[in-house]
Amino acid sequence: LLYFAFHSAGLSDAVAAALQADLGLVSFVAADDSGVAFESADLADRIARLPYLRNCFEVLARAPRRDLDQVGSDLIQRLRAGRFPSPRPGSGFRIMAHIDGTLIGIAPQTRQRLEKAIALSIGGRAEPRGGGTEYWIIGRRDIPDVFLGRRLPRPAQAKPAPGQLAAELAALVVRVGGCDADDVVLDPFGGSGALLRARAALPHRRLIYSDLDLKVHSAALGDLRRQPDSLVLGEDATALPSLESGSVTRIITDPPWGEFESELGPYEEFAEAVWKSFDRVLRPDNSRATMLIGRRPSKLMIHAALARGFVITSSYDLLVNGHPATLFVAGR
């Protein structure tokens, strides 16, 4: 089965690794900065539940990228030749074209011909106002084929609060660098708890949350507190007095980026204090820290990590809510 999925921009290598780890057999057909087409024997509802993918589609037909009307004709031919299980009788559908990241209009005649072809080959009836199945024509600048995909229904996600990481991005960040059932995971700049919440879904031994501003976040942390083997602290990440030296195997964190926080003092000194503290609490061997940080302060954070003897094992440039950021893993 062929699928197409959108994901957070800049993390295609991380998405490919996560798909390979999570799905039985996967082969990649095409990919760009924020989308991937892949074949997998896994069923659509399993693909739709992968937490790091955004919109997922089961691909019903593909055609070489050309003018949208010509693509429409090619897709209609493929639909006529294909065999599809029928959806529930009478179910409504609508067609949209998503080309190079933007929804664009489809010429009325092409739309009508496509609607007819879908109704005949797959079933259902066109319902322009939506509410039923969505068929998307997906074109990407760097992918030579255009896909016609059925959008897979996904579990509803709560909209992230301001400053909170989106659940899809958090799900990727916690997978970068791997995970182990024995991991004692710390987020010392925990905020809303998005990263530990995402990590809780993967095997672990212990989850430790800390944030200097625990009072602000406390009300939102009920689910984390209820996790067996979780610990919630309100300590300074540069000290962490409750944690014994060498007691943590994985740090996964999104510290202040130094843009608004004047109380941090000079960022270079803050970065040094952070990595001194990480150096102390992390186990001396086989431990790692994953950090998501603004592109500019990332230089100082990486410098401070290297100065403490860490090695950068992977690094990705991405956008977080439109802001340039870097995600890196430091290990030892």
Ligand X SMILES: C[S@@+](CC[C@H](N)C(=O)[O-])C[C@H]1O[C@@H](n2cnc3c(N)ncnc32)[C@H](O)[C@@H]1O
How many chain residues interact with ligand X (CB under 6 A)?
A: 18
Beta strands in the chain (DSSP E): 2-6, 26-31, 35-40, 56-64, 92-99, 102-104, 125-126, 133-139, 145-151, 184-187, 206-210, 230-233, 250-253, 288-294, 311-320, 323-331
Complex with ligand X: residue 95 or 252, whichever CB lies closer: 252
Q: What residues contact residue 123 under an 8 Å CB cut-off, 6+ apart?
A: 84, 86, 87, 89, 91
Determine which residue in the list 100, 142, 182, 213 makes contact with ligand X, applying CB under 6 A. 213
Only segment of 112-120, 131-139, 254-262, 300-308 that touches ligand X (CB under 6 A): 254-262
Determine which residue in the list 31, 212, 289, 301 makes contact with ligand X, applying CB under 6 A. 212
Q: Give me 92's structure tokens.
A: 């409504």
Does 294 engage in binding with ligand X (CB under 6 A)?
Answer: no
* Distance (Å, whole) CA 292 – CA 110: 45
Does 254 engage in binding with ligand X (CB under 6 A)?
Answer: yes
Complex with ligand X: residue 7 or 140, whichever CB lies closer: 7
Determine which residue in the list 211, 281, 297, 331 makes contact with ligand X, applying CB under 6 A. 211
Q: What's the min distance (Å) between Cβ of 177 and ligand X?
A: 16
Does 106 engage in binding with ligand X (CB under 6 A)?
Answer: no
- Sheet hosting strand 311-320, strand order edge to edge: 230-233, 206-210, 184-187, 250-253, 288-294, 323-331, 311-320
Does 271 engage in binding with ligand X (CB under 6 A)?
Answer: no
- Summarize as ranges the residues that interact with ligand X (CB under 6 A): 163-165, 188-189, 191-192, 194-195, 211-213, 236-238, 254-256
